[in-house]
Structure 1
Amino acid sequence: MSRIAPPKSLLARNIALLIVLVMLSQVCSLTVLLHYVQRPRVERAAAVFANYVAILDSLLEAVPDDARAALMVRLDDRASAPKEAASAPLPNLLRLYRTYQRDVFLDSLRKQLPGDMPVRWQSEGGERLWIRMHAKSGPYWVALPIPGDAQGVGIDAAIILSLGLAALAAFTGYLIQRRLNRPLQDLARAARRVSAGETPPPLPTDGPTEIAAVSTAFNQMTEALQQAEKTRAVMLAGISHDIRTPLTKLRLAMAMAPLDQGDESFTAAAESYLDQIDTIVQQFMDFAGSSEREAAEPGDLNALVSRLAGDFAGLGHEFELTLGDVPSFPFRPIGMMRLLMNLMQNAVVYGRVGLSVRTWSEAGMACVAVGDRGGGLTAQELEALKAPFQRGRNARTHSGGTGLGLAIVERIAKLHGGTLQFHARDGGGLEVWAVMPVAASRV
């Protein structure tokens, strides 16, 4: 048998708990009302009514026959109780409290009356009490009106008022909980923005003390992260400057130095190493998040792809272009260019053949896919290379890499609210997809 799972949200749990507590309090209040207030009241009414019946029975026995006959007619006397009258009426599930009061009244009334004066309760055709009276000519059943205390008169309004107050209390609790949940929701949204690399505005601290303390701590954490980001940017800029300055001087000295036939191979190798170091420094800068500080602006993805494909074609690497209908959407131009260049460079270095770039849009997403026909890594192996400093088995023969290429691409895609995906290509090879929302909310 499956167990009902409790609500997951704090709002739903608190409202459910509040409703349960209100219902429990209502049940307890109704129990106290019926047992300690209404029951004594009904028992007193039954005692008074029994005394009235005894007086009426004595009066009927004492009056002359002709006067008694006229009086019995007015009391709607009958030789037997009507079939609608029952000694134990059926309970009314919709009005249990009235059933309870009726049973208490009948039990108390029967205890007060002699055993030869049975009582019947008629519900159909109007509620009345039928009681068998003594008379000289024989017992007769007479109908008497039911006292208001036995019918629960007035308790309906009390119960309706109590239920109304309970509903008001539950609704008030709901509004209070909604007010308490709103700063928590703001905190969750701000935390998601921080995890996406954004800087959310400070959270308000004018709410309840506990919520204000959490908001203040979050604001302090955000400021500390911003300061750490600034420190990291300054440190990386310093590293870049300190490394590139001597490299530039070395390159200049090598270019100005007189060369003979034996030094040309050394110079070429040295320049190759310098290019590799420069590439490594740039990849570290890209991975450090320089694109995060770049402002987004509406741009044409197809135009950027066409321009990069032309640049690669000038270097002898032809990419087959299939440009679909992609609407203009906001993206970071330099970051998007680095994303595409890394993917296309990987295709050139590791795929070599069947180079292609295609774009399309669907379901509010802009998609760009870079593919090749090389027999390199599988999609599963490429997924593992998203982690920083991971290099595939086909990179052993290629120097100058850091294992940050796909990590940089994925970070840029995430900055645009998108994802990086790997798919097997029809006809062999692989495609790397960058899928980004057209209306990017996190750019």
Structure 2
Amino acid sequence: MTVALKRLGLPRTLLARNIVLLIVLVMLSQVCSLTVLLHYVQRPRVERTAAVFANYVTTLDSLFEAAPDNARDALVARLNHGAQPPAADELEPTPSLRHFYVTYQREVFLDALRQHLPADMPVRWQTLGGQRLWIRIHAHDMPYWIALPIPEDARGAGLDAAILLSLGLAAAAALTGYLIQRHLNRPLQNLAHAARRVSSGETPPPLPTDGPTEIAEVSSAFNQMTQALQQAEATRAVMLAGISHDIRTPLTKLRLAMAMAITDNGHDSFVVAAEAYLDQIETILQQFMDYAGSGERETAQAGDLNALISRLAADFAGLGHEFELSLGAVPVFAFRPITMMRLLMNLMQNAVVYGRVGLAVRTWVHSGTAYVAVGDRGEGLAAHELEALKAPFQRGRNARAQAGGTGLGLAIVERIARLHGGSLQFHARDGGGLEVWVVLPLVAPRSASQSGR
């Protein structure tokens, strides 16, 4: 159904579709009304007028026959006597689409008039130089062309005003429908705006529920959903805090006990291994915490993405990992600074761990979109493997030998990118290796696609 509507070229918005439908219905009603008016009201009226006029012409013809010569000549002169009617271009007016009803009534009148007059009394309708009917009558076997005024009913008098009034009412109906539809669309627009705010991690005020019943029910359901999401968010925050506290507390105690268990002669191998396992547990726990809360509550602020990348590259350089920077002219735009730093740190850390060499970060802008590419010269992966890494708990074959990972790193990056209205892409790097692209719109899109996975 949607494909068929697109092929017809119909607008996609509900407001525009309803307005188009309303205009089409009004036009159809106007066409039907005009058809009924012309065929069932005006046509019988014009035909009756033609019959009366034909009787008048027949009587006039009889009067000419019976009149004395002097009286007949005076009467003929008074009735615009002429040997022939005017030229054909003055008698046959050009049909006008704008005044088609006038042409229609004229043809109806002439057809009816010719049916009531003798065959040897032709009729001509003059339009140029004045509206007149030319009729050839007989007077002692000598034909005369006389001009008679056209009846008002045959001219379509009064129809102009009726049609203009009808068109005015149609325009008023279309305007009224447009205003009503706008009134109905406003709550839907408010609902869409509130949904976008919810998807971006904000808490919109409750929607009004004093409108039409159907809209009020939708708004009420949305308010209930928002409250349920707020409660779920609060519960998740409490749960995350509890997990962080309840797990990290025994881990800290275990570290302390192990430190006290180290002998004076040196580090016990079991204690060293256990500390390594504890580090892995804490890393995994932190990744779960990061994935569970990917920055929805953080407020977006105008910031310099290149400056953030430069600071992180300096930090990695202090740890012995040099990133080659190729930073383009990226304007200041709004993003969540802490969340964006987490995204970049995850990508750069992955490059350090799995790529090891050829570390690089580059940025550029194209068509109102900022691009960040983090690359390395590590072992490349197939396209389906790269896309699968976006899902939680998925790890590439080059990462399975690494300890301490959960497969959430790129899932966190994907979620943060979508939170900013962007996306995550994988590309083979020229000369070997892999590049991970983060695509970020410089202006946050007004769509529900900003929500996380």
Q: CA RMSD in A?
A: 2.8
The CA distance in 2 between the partners of 1:205 and 1:247, in whole Å, is 51
Against the structure 1 CA distance between its residues 4 and 302, is the aligned structure 2 distance closer, same or farther, given a 3 Å change threshold?
Answer: closer
**What does 1:104-123 correspond to in 2, within 5 Å?**
104-123=108-127
**Which amino acid counterpart does residue 223 of structure 1 have in structure 2?**
Q
Residue-by-residue CA offset, 1:193-252 (whole Å, 9 max, x unaligned): 433444333333333221122122112111111111111121122112111111010001
Residues 21 and 331 of structure 1, relative CA distance in 2, 3 Å threshold: closer
- The CA deviation at 1:266 is 0.7
Cα distance in 1 for residues equivalent to 2:387 and 2:91: 82
Distance 1:143 1:185 in 2: 67
Aligned to 1:403: 407
**SS of corresponding position for 1:246:** helix
Stretch moving more, 36-45 or 106-115: 106-115
Q: Identify which of 333, 339, 352 aligns with 2:337.
A: 333
Specify the code of the residue in structure 2 equivalent to 1:288.
Answer: A
Q: Name which of 153, 160, 164 aligns with 2:168.
A: 164
**Cα distance in structure 2, aligned partners of 1:36 and 1:335:** 75
TM-aligned CA deviation for residue 160 of structure 1:
1.6
Aligned to 2:237: 233
Change (3 A) 1:359 1:28: closer
Q: Which residue of 2 aligns with 1:304?
A: 308
1:101 aligns to 2:105 (yes or no): yes
**Does residue 142 of the first structure (1) align with residue 146 of the second (2)?**
yes
Alignment correspondent of 2:423: 419
TM-score, length of structure 1 as denominator length? 0.90
Judge conservation of contact 2:262–2:268 (CA < 8 Å) in 1: no
Question: What SS class does the counterpart of residue 43 from structure 1 fall into?
Answer: helix
Q: Aligned AA for 1:418? A: G
1:67 aligns with 2:47: no
Aligned to 1:126: 130
Residues 16-415 of structure 1 aligned to structure 2 (within 5 Å) = 16-84=20-88, 91-136=95-140, 138-259=142-263, 264-378=268-382, 380-415=384-419
> Secondary structure of 1:394's partner?
coil
Q: Classify 1:299/1:8 alpha carbon distance in 2 versus 1 (closer, same or farther; 3 Å).
A: closer
Q: 1:105 to 1:86 in 2, by over 3 A?
A: farther
Q: Is the 8 A contact 1:323 1:360 kept in 2?
A: yes
Secondary structure of 1:420's aligned partner: strand
Shift of 1:300: 3.8
- Number of corresponding residues: 442
Which amino acid in structure 1 is aligned with residue 406 of structure 2?
Answer: T
- Greater CA deviation, 7-16 or 153-162? 7-16
Contiguous gaps of at least 5 residues in structure 2: 1-5
Measured in 2, the distance between the counterparts of 1:79 and 1:359 equals 94
Answer whether contact 2:38 2:101 (CA < 8 A) is retained: yes
Letter in 2 for 1:126: G
- In structure 2, what is the Cα distance between the partners aligned to 1:79 and 1:165? 50
Out of 5, 15, 40, the position equivalent to 1:11 is 15
User: Which residues of structure 1 form unaligned runs of 5+?
Assistant: none
Indicate conservation of the 8 Å contact 1:350/1:376, yes or no.
no
In the TM superposition, what is the alpha-carbon distance from 1:288 to its structure 2 partner?
0.5
Find the residue that maps to 1:139 and give its secondary structure. Answer: strand
Compare 160-169 and 318-327 and name the one that shifted more. Answer: 318-327
Note if contact 1:84-1:124 (Cα within 8 Å) is conserved in structure 2: no
Shift of the 76–227 alpha-carbon distance from structure 1 to 2, 3 Å rule, reads: same
CA distance in 1, matches of 2:382, 2:29: 64
Match of 2:3 in 1: none
Shift of residue 85, structure 1, vs aligned partner = 8.6
Residues 378-420 of structure 1 deviation map (CA, whole Å, 9 limit, x = unaligned): 5552222011111111122111111100011121222233322
Is contact 2:200-2:296 (8 Å) kept?
no
| Structure 1 residues 110-153: Cα deviation after superposition (integer angstroms, max 9, x where no partner) | 34334443323233443321222232252322111111111111
Q: Is the 8 A contact 1:85 1:121 kept in 2?
A: no
Letter in 2 for 1:216: S
Contact 1:366 1:437 in 2 (8 A): yes
Question: In structure 2, what residue type is equivalent to 1:96?
Answer: F
Determine helix, strand or coil for the equivalent of 1:15.
helix
